[in-house]
Amino acid sequence: MIHIELQVELNYEIDAQGADFVFNIHAAQTPSQAISAESLLLSQSVVPHLHTDQATGNRYMRVRALPGELKLKYAATVDLAHHRADPAELGEVPVYRLPPEVIGYIYPSRYCQSDRLVRLAINEFGKLRQGYGRVQAIRDWVQSRVTFTPNSSNSSTSAIETLIERVGVCRDFAHLMIALCRAVNVPARFATGTDYGADPALGPPDFQAYVEVYLGDRWYIFDPSGTAIPMGFVRFGTGRDAADVAFATIFGGVRSHAPVIRASAVEDTVRGFVLPHHCREALSTDSGPQVVSGV
Amino acid sequence: MIHIELQVELNYEIDAQGADFVFNIHAAQTPSQAISAESLLLSQSVVPHLHTDQATGNRYMRVRALPGELKLKYAATVDLAHHRADPAELGEVPVYRLPPEVIGYIYPSRYCQSDRLVRLAINEFGKLRQGYGRVQAIRDWVQSRVTFTPNSSNSSTSAIETLIERVGVCRDFAHLMIALCRAVNVPARFATGTDYGADPALGPPDFQAYVEVYLGDRWYIFDPSGTAIPMGFVRFGTGRDAADVAFATIFGGVRSHAPVIRASAVEDTVRGFVLPHHCREALSTDSGPQVVSGV
Amino acid sequence: MIHIELQVELNYEIDAQGADFVFNIHAAQTPSQAISAESLLLSQSVVPHLHTDQATGNRYMRVRALPGELKLKYAATVDLAHHRADPAELGEVPVYRLPPEVIGYIYPSRYCQSDRLVRLAINEFGKLRQGYGRVQAIRDWVQSRVTFTPNSSNSSTSAIETLIERVGVCRDFAHLMIALCRAVNVPARFATGTDYGADPALGPPDFQAYVEVYLGDRWYIFDPSGTAIPMGFVRFGTGRDAADVAFATIFGGVRSHAPVIRASAVEDTVRGFVLPHHCREALSTDSGPQVVSGV
Amino acid sequence: MIHIELQVELNYEIDAQGADFVFNIHAAQTPSQAISAESLLLSQSVVPHLHTDQATGNRYMRVRALPGELKLKYAATVDLAHHRADPAELGEVPVYRLPPEVIGYIYPSRYCQSDRLVRLAINEFGKLRQGYGRVQAIRDWVQSRVTFTPNSSNSSTSAIETLIERVGVCRDFAHLMIALCRAVNVPARFATGTDYGADPALGPPDFQAYVEVYLGDRWYIFDPSGTAIPMGFVRFGTGRDAADVAFATIFGGVRSHAPVIRASAVEDTVRGFVLPHHCREALSTDSGPQVVSGV
C-alpha cells in the first residue's frame, strides 16, 4: 500500500470584475484510492460549490472569486491500494465488447485528433500483437520521439502539433499517446493528478498529466513522459483530454502564480506502507466493471 | 403538435473480415418528443445491442456485421410538442449558475476549438446584449459568411477550417456556431436528426446536424445553415460535436451508399397536427432542469 | 541518351467572363535537356505571352482565354543527356558554401513547412552520414510511410498534412521529402514534368511532380513516390514548391478536364538512344554552377 | 526628402561548434533610397560574404561565426526620396498585364496561405471598387481585427493563425494583409527594415515588417500594424514573406539578445530634409518597371 501526504497551494490575483473558477484538484475517491483526511482552505469568504460527476467520479469545485488575492490550500492523506495485473494477461477488448461507457474513449477529442492518425497508427502499430505490449509500444514510441521541454507548448497545443514538433510537457505526451491508442481502437483517457518521483532537474513538483488505457476489464495507468514513478500518482480526474479536466478553468481576468505542490510518501512496514517504485506489473486505481456499470 | 412519419434506409457492403457499427439513428425519447411506433429491420441475422446513454438520452445501437450486404430500415412515428418561449425572455446563464451537467458544453471539443476563438468572438459579439439575441447574431454571422456547398468538407473538417475556408455543409455550420458560442461562454451542443423542409435543389432529404444552445433553463434549437424548418427536426442525438453522435461509426472495411430518408409531416386539425413552419418563438425539445438533474 | 516524343493535351470550358491562365507546360531547355522540335496549338485565336524566368529557366505562357472551349496541344521532341554521378561521391554542401542562388531552397515554403520539422528530421536523420545516402534515406522514409492514393489530397494539402495523414499523390510525396531535406539544411526544390514508366494501374499517364536536391555542385533528381523511372522524366519547371510551378494557374471560372499525356521513348542503338531504366547512379539535368552563376 | 541616421547593434553568444548566419540588415540601395555612408563592424575576425540578389536587390551577408561572443554593428546614413502618388489614381493591375517578375507575388507562400482565403476575401472585399482604396480597406480590416501584443506569436505563426487568434506583432499583421491581397489577385510582398515613430509604450525601437503592394506601375508601402510612420521606414529587404527576408537566419546553437536599434531623422530645411510624417499620398521606394525589367 502507498500512503501519501499531499498538499496543493494555489495563488491568484483577480481583477476588479471578479472571476469564476472551476477547479479539479480534489483527490478522486475510488475503491483503490481512499482519502483518510482532507482539508480545503480558501483565503476569501466565498462558498465553493462541489460537484462529483457520476460518470467519472471527478470532483469539481466552483468558486466565484472576489477581486484581489485568492489563495487556496488543499491537503489530503491518500491511501493507494492499486489493482495489479500481469501485463502478459491483459488483452485489448474488441470494439463490439467494449462497455458502453468506455466506447466514447475511442473517439477523437479536442487535443487528441485520432481520426487523422489512423493510417499512421496502423502503419506503425498495426502488425504488433494486440494487448498490453502494443500499448506499451505506443508509449515507448511517443517517449522516444518527443523531447520533454518545459514551456515548449501552450494550452492550445494538441497531439497533431506534438507529433510534428516533437517537443512538449507531460500533457502533450499524454495527448499524443491517447490519440495513437484511439487510432487503433484502443480506449484511452487523460488523467490528472500529482507527480511523484520526477527528477528535480525538470523543475519543482507539479501537477501531472498521464494516460489510462482500457485493457481487460479496467483502466490501467501509463506514463508516456517517463519522468515519474506512476505508483505514486494521486489521481484527481479523468476525461477525454485536458479540456475536461483542467486543474483550473478560469473565467475572468486573473494572474496566476506557479502552484506549490508537495506529495510525500510514507514508508512504514508495520502499517504496510511501501514507497512508490517502478514495477513491471500493470497498475490500476480503477475498480473494474462492476462499479463502472453501477453508475 | 407536429406529427412526423420517419423512414431511414441505410445500405452497406462489408468486406470479408466483417465490420462493427455504432449507429445513432433512433429517435430520442424526451417529454417533448414521443415515439408512438417504431420498427427496425436488419438484413443480416445479427443481434444488435441497444444502449441508451443516461446523460444525453442518445440511443446507440451496436451491430457486428457479417461480410456482404447490410441493409437497415428504421421507421418511427414521432410526435413533437415543442416547448416554446419568447426570445426576449431568454437570457444567458452566468458560468457560476450553470448546472453541472451543462458546464462541459462551454469547453472546446474535437471539431469546435473554441479556445482559439476567444478574441475573435469577443471582438465580434462581446458588446452585444447577452441573451437569445446574441446567440441569434452568432447564428446570422455564421450563416452569412459560410456558403452551403455539398461535398465541400470531410469528416476531419473542424470549425477552424470552416472559419477560414468559408464553405461547408450543415455539420460545418453547426461546428462553427458552437465554437463561437462557447468562446463567449455560452453552452452549445451538436444535435443530429432528420431534416425537414430543405430546398430540394440542395439534394435529396438527408440527415441534419444543428445546434442546441442553453438559455434560461433549457436547450433551444438553432439551425445555422438556414436550409430547413427547425420545427420539423426529429432529434436522434446530442453531444459535444460530431465525434459523439455520428449517425454511423464504422470499424472495418465498408462501402457506404447514400442514405434514403423520408420525413413527412401530417396535417390534421382534428388531432391538432400542424405542419412544421418557421416561427419567431424559440423552440426546445428539452424538458428543462428537473429531468436533467434527475439523471 | 534518352529521346522522348512528348504530347500534352489540355481541355477547358471557360465561363462567360473569360479567364486568365498561366501555364508551365513547356519543356525546359537546359544543357542536359535539348528540345529538337516543338509545337503549340491553341483552339482560340488568342496571343499567348511567353516568358522564361532567368533564375530557374521555367517557361511560362500566359493566355487570356475567351468564353467557351479552350483546347491546348503541346508537342515536343526532347533529348536528355543526363549528368551522371557516383552517389558515393556526392556530398552535402555546408550552408556557408552554398551558392547564393541555392540558399533560398533551405527555407520553408507554402507546402514545405520545414521550420516545424527540424526536431523530427534531426531525430530521424541527424545521425546518418551526410551525403547522397542520407537524402536517399529521407526519400525511403517518405516512400515507406506514405501510401500513394489517387484523389486523396487537394491543392491546399501540405507536407504537414501528408506527414500526419500518410497518404497522397506524387505532389505530396515531393512536398514532404523537400520539407524534411530542408529541415536538415539540405537544399531541395520541387520539379514538375511528365511521368515515365508508371504502373498503368495507378491511372493514365499524367504530369509528374518530383524532387531535386542540391548535392556536390548541382541538383540531382529523386522520385519519392517511387512510381516511375526518373530517367524518363521531361522537366517543365522547378520552384520552391507547387505554388511556383503549377501546370496551370487559373484566374476565373473554368471547368477542367483531365489532361491527356503521351511520353514515348525511342530506342535506337544507331543514334545512341536507349530506353529510360532504373540505375544506381545519381542523375541530373542541371548543368552545374558555371551556368547557374551566369544568371 | 527624409534623411535618417541608422544604427543597428546585434549580440549573440555562439556554442562551441560555431554557427552560420545569413543576415539581411543592410539598407537596400534603390533610386529612392540612397546610402550616403555605411559601416559594418564585426567583433570576430571573420570574413563576411556579401551578396546582392539581382531580382530583389536584397543585400545578404553570410558570416561563419566562431564560438563565443559575436557583436555586429551596422550604421548607415540613408536618404529617402519617395515616389509619391495620388491614391485615387492608383489602380489594380489585371493578372494578364502583371509584369512577369511580379506575378509570383499573387501566389501563396509559407506564412501567407492565400489559396485558403479566396472565399473569405471575395466575401469581404470582392464588391469594393478595385484600386488603392480596396487595398486600404484590406489594411484597415486587418488592423481593426488584430490586436498588437508583444510576444504573442512565434516564428512559425502564419496568416491563418493570425486570422483565427486575432493577435500578433508587425510580422503577423503583414502576413495576414499579404495573404488577403493575394487572395483577390493583388500582388503583395513582405518588406523589412527599421521602424520609425512607433509609440515607445510598444517597446524600444525595433526592426519593422510591413507590406508593399503592386499598384499602377510599382510597389507601394502599407503599414498594417498602424504603429509607425511609414515615411520613416528604411528598407532592408523584400520577399514573399518572412521566410525570405529574416533579419538573421541562424544555423547552429546560438543565444540571441534583443537588437539595439536607433533610427533618427534629421530636420534641415536648408538641405530639404523634413521629418517623416503621416500623409495621405501613396508612398513608394520602388523605381518602377523600367528598372525592374532590367534585371
Q: How far apart are CA A61 and CA A245, in angstroms?
A: 12
Looking at the complex, report in whole angstroms how far the Cα of residue D233 sits from the nearest Cα belonging to chain C: 25
Q: What is the DSSP letter of A248?
A: E
Q: Does the complex come out with an ipTM higher than 0.90?
A: yes
Looking at the complex, report in whole angstroms how far the Cα of residue A196 sits from the nearest Cα belonging to chain B: 29
Q: How confident is the model at residue C52 (pLDDT cuts 50, 70, 90)?
A: very high
* Binary contact (C120, A166; C-beta < 8 A): yes
pLDDT attached to residue C294: 35
At residue C149, does pLDDT exceed 50?
yes
Compute the average pLDDT of residues C89-108. Answer: 95
Q: How far apart are CA C152 and CA C126, in angstroms?
A: 30
Compute the average pLDDT of residues D102-119. Answer: 97
Q: What is the mean pLDDT of chain C?
A: 94
What's the pLDDT tens digit per position in B117-151? 999 999 999 999 999 999 999 999 999 999 999 99
Q: How far is CA C10 from CA C191, C203, C207, C248, C259, in A?
A: 20, 17, 11, 10, 5
Q: What is the mean pLDDT of chain B?
A: 94
pLDDT attached to residue C292: 41
pLDDT above 70: percentage of residues in chain B: 97
Question: What DSSP line would sit under chain B, residue for residue?
Answer: -EEEEEEEEEEEEE-TT-EEEEE--SPP-BTTEEEEEEEEEESS----EEEE-TTT--EEEEEEEPSEEEEEEEEEEEEE--EEE-GGG-PPPPGGGS-HHHHGGGS-BTTB-GGG-HHHHHHHHTTSPSSHHHHHHHHHHHHHHSEE-TTS--TT--HHHHHHH-EE-HHHHHHHHHHHHHHTT--EEEEEEE--S--GGG-S--EEEEEEEEETTEEEEE-TT--S-GGGPEEEEEESSTTT--SEEEES-EEEPPPEEEEEE--BTTTTB------SSEEE----HHHHHH-
What's the pLDDT tens digit per position in A184-241? 999 999 999 999 988 888 778 889 999 999 999 999 999 999 989 999 999 999 999 9
Give residue for cell 446530442.
B238
At residue C289, does pLDDT exceed 80?
no
At residue C173, does pLDDT exceed 80?
yes
Compute the average pLDDT of residues D107-123. Answer: 98
Looking at the complex, report in whole angstroms how far the Cα of residue D116 sits from the nearest Cα belonging to chain B: 6
Lowest mean pLDDT among C158-172, D130-144, D193-207: D193-207
* Binary contact (C145, A160; C-beta < 8 A): no
Compute the average pLDDT of residues D11-21. Answer: 97
Q: In what order do the strands lie in the sheet with A49-52?
A: A49-52, A59-65, A19-23, A248-251
Question: What DSSP line would sit under A60-110, residue for residue?
Answer: EEEEEEPSEEEEEEEEEEEEE--EEE-GGG-PPPPGGGS-HHHHGGGS-BT
pLDDT attached to residue B55: 85
pLDDT attached to residue D227: 86
Q: How confident is the model at residue C31 (pLDDT cuts 50, 70, 90)?
A: confident
Compute the average pLDDT of residues C56-62. Answer: 94
pLDDT attached to residue A295: 35
Q: How confident is the model at residue B54 (pLDDT cuts 50, 70, 90)?
A: confident
What dihedral do alpha carbons D227, D233, D239, D243 form, nearest 10°? -60
Question: What 3 state SS string does D63-104 have?
Answer: EEECCEEEEEEEEEEEEECCEEECHHHCCCCCHHHCCHHHHH
Which stretches of chain A are DSSP H helices?
100-103, 118-125, 132-145, 159-165, 170-183, 289-292
What's the pLDDT tens digit per position in B181-227? 999 999 999 999 999 988 888 778 889 999 999 999 999 999 999 98
pLDDT attached to residue C288: 67
* Binary contact (D95, C244; C-beta < 8 A): no
Compute the average pLDDT of residues C51-68. Answer: 94
pLDDT above 90: percentage of residues in chain A: 91
Collect all residues from C whose CB is shorter than 8 A from any CB in A.
116-117, 119-120, 123, 145, 147, 160, 163-167
Please name the helix (run of DSSP H) or strand (run of DSSP E) that holds residue C156, with its range, or none: none
Q: Are the C-beta atoms of C186 and C92 separated by less than 8 Å?
A: yes
At residue C32, does pLDDT exceed 70?
yes
Q: How far apart are CA B34 and CA B25, in angstroms?
A: 15
Output the furthest CA–CA distance in chain B (Å, rounded).
58
Best mutation site among C163, C166, C167 for testing chain A: the one with the most A CBs within 10 Å? Answer: C166
Which of C113, C155, C249 shows the shortest C-beta gap to D110? C113
How many other C-beta atoms can be found within 10 angstroms of the C-beta atom of residue D163? Answer: 25
What's the pLDDT tens digit per position in D141-199? 999 999 999 999 999 999 999 999 999 999 999 999 999 999 999 999 999 999 999 88
At residue B103, does pLDDT exceed 70?
yes
Q: What are phi and psi of C220, to 5 degrees?
A: -110, 150
* Binary contact (C167, A123; C-beta < 8 A): no
Which of C64, C109, C116 shows the shortest C-beta gap to D96? C64
B95 closest CA partner among B223, B187, B218, B210: B187
Q: How far apart are CA D168 and CA D191, in angstroms?
A: 17
Q: How confident is the model at residue D288 (pLDDT cuts 50, 70, 90)?
A: low
Looking at the complex, report in whole angstroms how far the Cα of residue C204 sits from the nearest Cα belonging to chain A: 26
pLDDT attached to residue B292: 41
At residue A104, does pLDDT exceed 60?
yes
Q: Are the C-beta atoms of D159 and D176 separated by less than 8 Å?
A: yes
What's the pLDDT tens digit per position in A117-173? 999 999 999 999 999 999 999 999 999 999 999 999 999 999 999 999 999 999 999
Q: How far apart are CA B34 and CA B37, in angstroms?
A: 9
